[in-house]
């Protein structure tokens, strides 16, 4: 049996999905008719990444306990560029 390909890899092939008319209209307005597949592909890949990240976090918390929210906020401050503020608050 072949190894499953990761998201975004392998040949492209058509599939059928059902969407609400309003969703289709909004999608076409944003992407045009020809950009719909690429847009939907990117959305699905991003959702799969989020779900996998959530699974990794749950696994880590099961093994090591819950995350320290103060540490999370300090890291977020660094990512936002608020390093001086986070140091002063500590």
Give the count of domains, the chain: 1
Whether 39 is covered by a domain: the verdict is yes
Whether 42 is covered by a domain: the verdict is yes
Instruction: Specify the 3-state DSSP secondary structure of 15.
Output: coil
Query: Which DSSP symbol is given to 7?
Result: T
Instruction: Extract the tokens encoding 4.
Output: 């499953």
Whether 9 is covered by a domain: the verdict is no
Question: Where are the alpha helices (H) located in 1-90, listed in sequence order?
Answer: 21-31, 36-64, 69-80, 83-89
Average pLDDT over residues 59-78: 93
Give residue-wise pLDDT tens across range 34-68: 899 999 999 999 999 999 999 999 999 999 999 89
Whether 13 is covered by a domain: the verdict is no
Mean of per-residue pLDDT scores for the chain: 90
Whether 29 is covered by a domain: the verdict is no
pTM of the model: 0.69
Whether 26 is covered by a domain: the verdict is no
Residue 82: per-residue pLDDT: 84
Asked if 27 and 39 count as a contact pair (C-beta separation under 8 A), the reply is yes
Domain of residue 39 covers: 35-89
- As a whole number of angstroms, the distance between CA 55 and CA 64 comes to 14
In this structure, the chain runs to a length of: 90
Whether 27 is covered by a domain: the verdict is no
Backbone CA torsion sign across 57, 44, 18, 23: positive
Whether 40 is covered by a domain: the verdict is yes
């Amino acid at each position: 049996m072949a190894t499953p390909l990761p998201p975004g890899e392998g040949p492209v092939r058509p599939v059928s999905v059902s969407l609400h008319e309003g969703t289709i209209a909004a999608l076409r307005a944003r992407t045009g008719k020809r950009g719909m597949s690429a847009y939907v592909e990117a959305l699905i890949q991003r959702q799969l990444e989020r779900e996998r990240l959530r699974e990794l976090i749950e696994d880590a918390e099961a093994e090591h306990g819950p995350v320290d929210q103060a540490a999370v906020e300090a890291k977020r401050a660094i990512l936002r560029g608020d390093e001086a503020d986070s140091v002063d608050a500590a």
